[in-house]
Amino acid sequence: MTVTDALILGIIQGLTEFLPVSSSGHLELVKAIQGQELTGGSSMMMTLVLHAATALSTLVVFRKEVGEIIGGLFQFKINEAFLFSAKIVVSMIPAAFVGLYFDDIIETLFHKQVLLVGSMLILTGVLLFLADRAKRTDKNVSFGHAIIIGISQAIAILPGISRSGATIGTSVLLGIDRERAARFSFLMVVPLILGKIADDLREGALSSEDISGVAIGVGFVVAFITGILSCAWMIALVKRSKLSYFSYYCFAVGLGAIGWALFV
């Protein structure tokens, strides 16, 4: 992988982690188009580095909320901060379960699975199209909502299903306020990403044999900066009910990916 490749992947990750168009799906498509022949460990290494960068972007953008969540977890009284923290924890359970018991299967889905990515992008587009037409969106996130949103996040482990699209779309369809939905969606994934990185480092599942340190650094920095900008942009778009625009994009890219897989 060249530095230019890493730069492109960093931009794509920074944009698509927060925009509801599947960062993992786009990364796999670009790797396929670039003809990258990374090993499974190296591919996962670059994917995790880029996701770590956008997780850090989330912490920067939502630093106030993150402080409240951490404070809420260590308080001994039931208040809004504590309940929000508890809901974040509850929402992590489905994805943590899938990652714990199906990690080996998941890794095989991140290598030349262009047809899968295209199909899942179309599914993401359908969800966004439906969510954009939701009428009542004024509820707070409940514990029941947190579980349902967590299940959608677990399903979004599949490359091509947008994590933010799945969680925000599900939230809006449940009637949750759009801004609250975006905030909850972006915050709920951070502990999972950090936990995944820690677990892979502990097990030695990552490899950098096909990637230089400079490429890794460039990808991380670019994804971090781009992520900060796209996170703020996405919050504004969700509030203005613009999810259908992304559904059309997902349909187009999904169909293009399917065509690439079948005929190229």
Residue with more model confidence, 223 or 198: 223
The pLDDT-based confidence of 208 (bands split at 50, 70, 90) is: low
- Token code pair at residue 55: 């997780």
Read off the tokens for 99: 């990652």
Mean pLDDT, all residues of the chain: 84
Rounded to the nearest 10 degrees, the angle between the axes of helix 163-173 and helix 143-155 is: 150
Q: Quick check: 31 pLDDT over 80?
A: no
Residue 86 has pLDDT above 60, yes or no: yes
pLDDT, tens digit, 9 for 90 and up, residues 133-185: 887 778 889 999 999 999 999 998 888 899 889 999 999 999 998 888 888 99
Structural domain span for residue 138: 3-263
- What pLDDT does residue 196 have? 74
pLDDT value at 121 more than 90: yes
Is this model's pTM higher than 0.85 or not?
no
- Res. 110: pLDDT tops 80: no
Of 58-67, 86-95, 122-131, 199-208, the poorest mean pLDDT is in: 199-208
d(CA 239, CA 264): 39
Calpha distance 255→222 (Å, rounded): 28
pLDDT score of 243? 84
Strand partners for 176:
139
How many structural domains are present in the chain? 1
**Which residue in the block uniquely carries the two structure tokens 């897989």?**
261
DSSP conformation class of 156:
T
